[in-house]
Amino acid sequence: MLLNPELHCRTSPTDVLAFLGGLTLAFYLMKLTWRCWCGLRAFILSEHWQVDFRTYGRWAVVTGATSGIGKAYAFELAKRGLDVVLISRSEDKLRIVAKEIENEYDRKTRTIRVDFTDGCNIYPAIAKELQGLEIGILVNNVGMICSDNFAYFLEIPEAEEKITQIINCNMLSVPQMTRLVLPSMVEREKGLIINISSEMGVRPQPLLALYSASKVFVTYFSQCLHAEYKSKGITVQCVAPLMVSTNMTHNMTVNGLVKSAPAFACEAIKTVGHSSYTSGCLSHALQSAALELFLPDWLRMSTFLIRKLRNLPRIKVHGNKASKEKERLIAKE
């Protein structure tokens, strides 16, 4: 007996498209839900679920520790009960910061004066100073930027020297410092490495090409290292802030978008244990999401926007310019 064709259940192309559309919508809703949960856990719930940093080890090492984000992290770690090794290029500033930490938090400090732009020859001396310390935390923070304004690559002042300095300071310092402290962490099966990257290491930023590329290195190195060593008890966190008021950003006015260094470090350090990659604070996470939505790469890389940025007024730097540029070695973001 033949069945009535009208009774057959047929799937039309419209039904297929509707099904695929539903799957796509469900996927993006799940992705959004997951991101919201991660943000809630990292920036809200972390207030109540904070890590005991003393379990990592007795000492924390912070590079670029005499101003900006580096100094703020050093104070936050001392506040949480760790002794701190401060590394930077200014002996006077190291002495001042060390005294402040000792007086305010009654923690031990050690100082190491080096210039991270000098390349590989500084690390044997650092290794000697760190020998015998139970180092539980490393904060790779030291960094520098190319110039005081948006500029084409060939417009970088003293480009030959500056390229080497930025690579040595922003990039080489991260794996070299990691190499010094990671073996003992692996041996104890406990350790925390915090690498300070930048939003410019998330998406390319023309007219800051060298700085942006150096931050991509920090971001990728951090993520790969975390994947390699998390099974051995090591946490590697990459922190990618937006605008923070420091020497590098000419101490710009703090507002709803721009964080002060102490406020940023206070929020960022609470995300440890809750996120291996973070913008550091809720404000910057929301700004990053907005940039992703409203400033896609095709617009960021457009000739129109590049020309607009290039024509912004040059930032005026008071005092000795060479000295100001050197100061940025100890200020992050």
Beta strands in 94-203 (DSSP E): 109-113, 135-140, 191-196
- Three-point CA angle 126, 128, 130, nearest 5°: 70
Q: Which residues contact 63 (CB under 8 A, 6 or more apart)?
A: 70, 87, 88, 116, 139, 140, 141, 142, 173, 177
Radius of gyration of the chain (CA): 23
Q: Is 123 a catalytic residue?
A: no
Task: Give backbone dihedrals phi and psi of 297, rounded to 5 degrees, phi first.
Answer: -60, -35
Distances (CA, A) of 35 to 16, 29, 30, 135, 209: 29, 10, 9, 33, 29
Q: Which of 211, 220, 229, 277 is catalytic?
A: 211
Q: Which residues contact 110 (CB under 8 A, 6 or more apart)?
A: 83, 84, 85, 86, 98, 129, 133
Contact call for residues 166 and 218 (beta carbons, < 8 A): no
| Ramachandran area for residue 57 (φ above 0: left; ψ -120 to 50: alpha; else beta) | left
Contact call for residues 58 and 82 (beta carbons, < 8 A): yes
Contact call for residues 124 and 174 (beta carbons, < 8 A): no
Helix (H) or strand (E) holding 269: helix 261-269
Closest CA to 147 of 209, 216, 63: 209
Question: Per-residue DSSP letters for 66-78?
Answer: TSHHHHHHHHHHH
Catalytic residues: 211
